[in-house]
Structure 1
Amino acid sequence: MRLSTIVHDGRRTLAIAEGPGDTWRLAPGNLHLEDIIAGAPIPAGGASLTADEAVPVLPHRPGTIFGIGLNYLDTITEMGWPRPKAPYLFTKLSSSAIGTGEAIAIDAAVTRRVDWETELAVVIGAEARDIPEDKALDVVFGYTVANDVSARDLQADDAQWVRGKGLDTFCPLGPVVVTADEIKDPQALAVRTWVNGEKVQDGTTADMLFSVRSLIAYLSRFFTLRPGDVILTGTPSGCGDFMDPPRALRPGDTVMSEVEGIGRLVNPVRVAGEQGAPDRSTADPPSPADRASTQASTQASMQSSIQAFRSTS
């Protein structure tokens, strides 16, 4: 089943489709996706909607967004780095979440190295703590598409990644949540990204170093997972920061993220800033030397963190 949050008659509400291409129906009453994730039954009936009427917004605002770095073998190989011994964890702020169609906002005074990372996102549907790996998928409500937008220069500047990963608008999610029963094997899904129509990522979740099962089990050893929490499971190779020469998102770009069996998440890129702030969209791009320096710093920061983990394990 495919679940979407739409704006109907001026309010957020739940829309339901039984499968891809099927007619959407409006959930009766005042139900929201958050209610269904928390355990409310999916209602029968409801007024029919056309595809044009069921225009999705952010499915729901997660309480906690867990991110996983270095989780695709092709990415690790591309970077020439050793495999992590355990999942490399970070978090993104709830305020960073936006829906399909909303803009990724870039303030050139804050960051000039904004990168894309399309990922399979796992939506937790039941409270879980220290769950064994063989039971881990039992707590999955469903799956959606994520773009783990990243400010690479801020990642390089900081010992941790709160700023680099958590800026406002830096976690697009959607366009729908597909219930877990519709995804028979989360380790057999294509993951792709297009920037301005050019395909830049084309991978598969089969290439994950740590599976969805193992990520849930690992996280639940340290944290209580709650309904509505989201786990971003890592990205395949093809991010702009590791291209030759490196690339970064700019105002005017459009990013499309796709995970097989779920859908396509589309976000334009625009200039950030309060009303009356100067338009920085014409700021000069960083020089090749600046880009190379930033990439080297980012790699060094992550390598240092990995070595610190190894020394304590």
Structure 2
Amino acid sequence: MKLLTFRTDEGNHLGVKTEKGVIDITEMLPGVSDVKAVIRNPDQLTLVELAIREGTFPFMDEEQLDIGPCVDNPEKIVCVGLNYQKHAKESNAAIPEQPILFNKYNNALAGHKDNVNLPSDSRQVDYEVELGIVMGKEAKEVSKENALDYVFGYCSANDLSARDLQFRSNQWLLGKSLDGFCPLGPYLVTADEVENPNALDVSCTVNGEVRQQSNTKDMIFFCDEIISYMSHYMTLKPGDVILTGTPEGVILGYEESSQVWLKDGDQVAVAVEGLGKLVNVMKLK
């Protein structure tokens, strides 16, 4: 099932994408305004499936919706750095022995087709297509073998990064959690529709030009390893988002003379196989 969040005058609503259009789950199930409500009570998805089959609710045109981040209020957004073999190589970095973790905050969330403001004192904003994991159950010290059982779904994500701010100190937070620097979506695809998250094509284009083209099988630490590792140090909660790293092709990896950083008006589109294309436009404040 493909879930999405869309904005209305009354606040956020949760929807489900179908072949005929989008059904408003919040109208169907009052009080269910975000995906975390469904994660907490997955039986509600059965009611949604029934409504889709019976056609008892109207379909909306997705193109007319103001789509927000597919998870709009996670407790945690935890990210993995240097998690693709070729990306580590282009960054002139050693292959990590354990996952490198950093975080973003909710202020960084953005939705499909949202404009993202470029910071006024940064000249080195970069894109990073990533597979996002959304947790479905509380996970504490889970094994690698059982880790994927705790996943609710997956999404496309863009770990936007202001490199000059990121490397201002040895802590990456400043360049990673700027407002709008974590677009998620457009859909949250339930785990039953993703056969193997460790074998998905990922891509990024800027103004239609392909910049990144890879597959999650190039990851150093796979999804089950990441979840297990994190859960041994922090309790992962339902709705928490994990960004699993980016492949080669980021601007940072270019020769310095060839680096053309994101600028006003650039359209960045990231996509993960089966999860949808997420598009954002960069804007100067």
Give the 3-state SS of the residue equivalent to 2:232 in structure 1: helix
Which position in structure 2 is the counterpart of 1:104? 116
Alignment: residue pair count:
269
Is the 2:104–2:173 contact (alpha carbons within 8 Å) kept by the matching residues of 1? yes
TM-score, normalisation: structure 1 = 0.82
Q: Distance in 2 between matches of 1:8 and 1:269?
A: 23
> Which of 23, 26, 31 is the aligned partner of 2:24?
26
Asked if residue 212 in structure 1 is aligned to residue 213 in structure 2, the reply is: no
Measure how far apart 1:247 and its partner are. Answer: 2.4
Q: Distance in 2 between matches of 1:149 and 1:50?
A: 29
Which position in structure 1 is the counterpart of 2:104? 92
Measure how far apart 1:7 and its partner are. Answer: 2.8
The equivalences for 1:151-170 within 5 A come to 151-170=162-181
The equivalences for 1:1-313 within 5 A come to 1-8=1-8, 10-18=10-18, 21-27=19-25, 28=28, 29-32=30-33, 33-40=35-42, 41-42=44-45, 43-44=47-48, 45=51, 46-59=57-70, 60-109=72-121, 111-244=122-255, 245-272=258-285
Measure how far apart 1:156 and its partner are. Answer: 1.5
Measure how far apart 1:215 and its partner are. Answer: 0.1
Measure how far apart 1:95 and its partner are. Answer: 1.1
TM-score, normalisation: structure 2 = 0.90
Measure how far apart 1:86 and its partner are. Answer: 0.4
Is the 2:80–2:243 contact (alpha carbons within 8 Å) kept by the matching residues of 1? yes
Q: What amino acid is the match of 1:83?
A: I
Q: Distance in 2 between matches of 1:187 and 1:130?
A: 21
Is the 2:6–2:67 contact (alpha carbons within 8 Å) kept by the matching residues of 1? yes
Measure how far apart 1:47 and its partner are. Answer: 2.7
Higher alpha-carbon deviation: 93-102 or 231-240? 93-102
Q: Distance in 2 between matches of 1:150 and 1:9?
A: 31
Q: Distance in 2 between matches of 1:7 and 1:162?
A: 28
Aligned residues: CA RMSD: 1.5
Is the 2:126–2:250 contact (alpha carbons within 8 Å) kept by the matching residues of 1? yes
Q: What amino acid is the match of 1:17?
A: K
Q: Distance in 1 between matches of 2:180 and 2:24?
A: 27
Give the 3-state SS of the residue equivalent to 1:58 in structure 2: coil
Mind listing any 5+ residue stretches in structure 2 that lack a counterpart?
Answer: 52-56
* CA distances 1:112-146 after superposition (whole Å, capped 9, x unpaired): 11110010000011111110011100110000111
Mind listing any 5+ residue stretches in structure 1 that lack a counterpart?
Answer: 273-313
Is the 1:76–1:83 contact (alpha carbons within 8 Å) kept by the matching residues of 2? yes
Percent identical pairs in the alignment equals 38
Q: What amino acid is the match of 2:203?
A: R
Q: What amino acid is the match of 2:38?
A: I
Measure how far apart 1:158 and its partner are. Answer: 1.1
Q: Distance in 1 between matches of 2:249 and 2:116?
A: 19
Q: Distance in 2 between matches of 1:148 and 1:234?
A: 8
Give the 3-state SS of the residue equivalent to 1:12 in structure 2: strand
Q: What amino acid is the match of 2:272?
A: V
Q: Distance in 2 between matches of 1:117 and 1:82?
A: 19
Is the 1:65–1:229 contact (alpha carbons within 8 Å) kept by the matching residues of 2? yes
Which position in structure 1 is the counterpart of 2:54? none
* CA distances 1:173-202 after superposition (whole Å, capped 9, x unpaired): 110100000000001111100011111000
Is the 2:204–2:210 contact (alpha carbons within 8 Å) kept by the matching residues of 1? yes
Is the 2:22–2:59 contact (alpha carbons within 8 Å) kept by the matching residues of 1? yes
Higher CA-based Rg: 1
Q: What amino acid is the match of 1:256?
A: A
Q: Distance in 1 between matches of 2:9 and 2:89?
A: 50
Higher alpha-carbon deviation: 23-32 or 47-56? 47-56
Which position in structure 2 is the counterpart of 1:297? none
Measure how far apart 1:23 and its partner are. Answer: 3.0
